[in-house]
Amino acid sequence: MSEFTDYLHEVFEPFGPIHCRRMFGGVGVYHEGLMFGLVADEVLYLKADADSRAAFAAEGLEPFRYVSGGKDVTMSYFRAPESVFEDPEQARDWARRAFAAALRGRKQPIGRKPRPVPTVALP
């Protein structure tokens, strides 16, 4: 990892324990096993959805974008405001907002379909 990702443990201490895991070209930031943040090129992005996107827009924060196959791809992660690095309460509030968006957007694990119960013909 990096000093930056190590520092995120301190930044989000008021929110709760986090762990970081490498993924593709960046790092995922997780709380309770759910990814709520993304680090790319030493920039922190936080999960957003329809309920929270306006808060990011109000701060003038841009979404995470990358190019794949010659196409611009925009993800539902927005640059974190600088205030998360300066104010523990802001860090906690933005982390809660991002974690709530991650909870709302999580996909249920794919499990096995229950086997049908065989029917027995009675005489």
- In tens, the pLDDT along 18-66 reads 999 998 889 999 999 999 999 999 999 999 999 999 999 999 999 999 9
Question: What 3-state class would DSSP assign to 5?
Answer: helix
Give pLDDT tens digits for 68-100.
Answer: 899 999 999 999 999 999 999 999 999 999 999
What the chain holds in terms of domains, given with CATH numbers, is: 3-105 (3.30.1460.30)
Contacts of 58 (CB under 8 A, 6+ apart): none
Residue 36 CA to residue 33 CA, distance in Å, equals 9
pLDDT band at 110 (very low <50, low <70, confident <90, very high): low
